[in-house]
């Protein structure tokens, strides 16, 4: 029984010494505006940026992964329902539930470059 207690204490000490800790808290909204309920995240390893979408924000916020500072506010529709990052072309695709479209974001410039309509009930051809 003593050996189990000693082993548990050693494990807890090693776990606490090597575990991750909260480094910073990033508050929304602020001067970049609007986001009150962040719900979508995408990570871009090419420029170490995290993209955050929200329920009501009408934008995507770009956060520098090194400094944890917001670097861009990218206009997009509300209710971003999904993100998909494509490393081949360094683009982020943001599906917008409310307007039935997809916003394409160039991750090199943090700019929305186009919006593609994705109607719910397309006509048969």
Per-residue pLDDT tens for 27-65?
A: 655 655 556 678 889 999 999 999 998 877 788 999 999
| Burial class of residue 5 (count of CB atoms within 10 Å of its CB; 0-12, 13-18, 19+) | exposed
Contact 29, 37 (CB under 8 A): no
Q: What are the residues facing 92 on neighbouring strands?
A: 85, 105
Mapped onto helix, strand or coil, the DSSP state of residue 13 is helix
Give per-residue pLDDT as tens, 79-118.
Answer: 788 899 999 999 999 988 777 889 999 999 999 999 888 7
Query: Which residues touch 31 (CB under 8 Å, ≥6 apart)?
Result: none
Report the distance separating Cα 124 and Cα 97, nearest Å: 22
Element (H, E) at 15: helix 2-18
Give per-residue pLDDT as tens, 6-29.
Answer: 445 545 554 555 555 556 666 655
Domain map (residue ranges) of the chain: 33-117
Domain 33-117 classification at class level: mainly beta
Query: How do 49-54 and 38-44 pair as beta strands?
Result: antiparallel
What number of other Cβ atoms are within 10 A of residue 124's Cβ?
A: 4
């Amino acid at each position: 029984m003593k050996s189990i207690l000693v082993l548990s204490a050693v494990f807890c000490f090693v776990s606490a010494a090597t575990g991750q800790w909260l480094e910073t808290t990033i508050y929304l909204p602020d001067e970049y505006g609007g986001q009150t309920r962040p719900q979508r995240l995408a990570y871009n390893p090419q420029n170490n940026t995290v993209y955050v979408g929200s329920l009501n924000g009408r934008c995507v916020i770009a956060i520098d992964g090194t400094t944890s500072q917001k670097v861009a506010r990218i206009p997009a529709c509300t209710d971003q329902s999904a993100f998909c990052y494509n490393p081949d072309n360094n683009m982020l695709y943001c599906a917008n539930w409310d307007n039935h479209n997809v916003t394409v974001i160039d991750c090199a410039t943090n700019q929305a470059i186009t919006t593609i309509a994705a109607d719910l009930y397309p006509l048969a051809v």
